[in-house]
Amino acid sequence: MTTRQTPGQRSYSETDHWLIAAQNGLTTIFGQPNGTGRSDPSEGLDEAELDEAERDQAARLMRVNHVGEVCAQALYQSQAAATRDLQLQQTLAHAAAEENDHLIWCDRRLQALGGRKSLLNPLWYTGAFVIGAVAGLAGDRWSLGFLKETEEQVEGHLDSHLGRLPAKDTCSRVVVQQMKEDERRHAETASRSGAADLPTPIKSLMRGASRVMTGAAYWI
């Protein structure tokens, strides 16, 4: 059985890596994920006085953002499990930890706004994990290309949310702004690592799937 080893760590079999990815999935959906320990961008800011409609809108948008981070975790974990490139595996692991920061921040905003996570998170994670695994098994260049395109689309999606969040909800806005900057950096890292440019039909299909996911997560 093929094994992979990160410097300074024990060897893991291919099966081990997929089992670790599955455990991370359970933690993402039902547990408390571990991030990098970065401070929450909204820490120390005063909560804005929002009316019911503004609070509901902010909570729904932050739920959509939380779903996006659930899917990002699935993609990073499945692609890390599929690759045999240890350096790429470490790059993906670091990015996944930063995406966990986003999960934590979005969860806190949802609680502060009186919102809730999407009831479909297990479905979103499973679907994204399968897609990420397929991309990963296609080869590292295609896997990175898929990751780059995903991050660029998420960055655009977050930018649109900055225009839809209540102007006075500074706490949510600073979180989304930091997430947007991180996504841009992750896309640039994927590009530098040798990402392939995906065919236009695949990019369009990804945008369509994203619209379905964000539309459903806004309500459910």
pLDDT tens digits, residue range 51-86? 999 999 999 999 999 999 999 899 988 888 888 888
CA distances for 112 relative to 2, 62, 100, 125, angstroms: 46, 11, 18, 24
End-to-end alpha-carbon separation of the chain, Å? 42
Q: Using 50, 70 and 90 to split pLDDT, how confident is the model at 17?
A: low
Domains of the chain, each with CATH number or no CATH: 13-30+50-219 (1.20.1260.10)
Chain length of the chain: 220
Helix, strand and coil in the chain, % to nearest 5 = 75, 5, 25
Tell me: the pLDDT tens digits for 115-124?
Answer: 999 999 999 9
117 neighbors 104 (Cβ within 8 angstroms): no
CA distances for 199 relative to 76, 169, 205, angstroms: 21, 38, 10
105 neighbors 162 (Cβ within 8 angstroms): no
pTM for this model (two decimals): 0.88
Mean pLDDT of 1-17: 55
